Copies of this chain bind each other. A is one copy, B any other.
Amino acid sequence: METEIAVRKLSALAHEGRLAVFRALVKAGPGGVAAGDIARKLKTAANTMSAQLLMLSNAGLIRARREGRSIIYAVDFEQMSSLLLFLTQDCCGGRAEICAPLAAVATSCCPPKRKQRA
């Protein structure tokens, strides 16, 4: 991951409301949640929620799909994992074996395309 992209992801998360949205989506898992449902759950105005979802989406942290009149948002777990990897990369002066496993575990979380574990 490039630094600029990581900064965009971190900026998207560096906001009380958006962080709450992201965490709610992390909890929800790959199935995702409709924009309106998140807005109601977090007691946020629809337009505000839309802006927050847009920013998370532009950062690549979440993805949107239409389903009827609703738009369902779900975390892009691969992107999330690569961000965590980026933050922990080369941890402790090259002794990657100490910290790198973090990345592997992250990657194994809710894989969107490859084989599931449980």
Chain A interface (Cβ < 8 Å from any Cβ of B): 3-4, 6-7, 10-11, 13-16, 19-20, 22-23, 26-31, 80, 84, 86-95, 97-99, 101-102, 105-106, 108-110, 117-118
Contact = CB atoms under 8 A, between A and B. Distances in A.
A106 B102 contact: yes
A90 B63 CA distance: 19
A64 B48 CA distance: 39
A106 B7 CA distance: 21
A16 B29 contact: no
Contacts of A117: 98
Nearest to A111: B98
A20 B7 CA distance: 10
Contacts of A7: 14-16, 19
Contacts of A91: 26-27, 29, 109-110
B10 A89 contact: no
Nearest to A28: B93
Given A10-B14, A27-B93, A93-B29, A109 B98 contact: yes
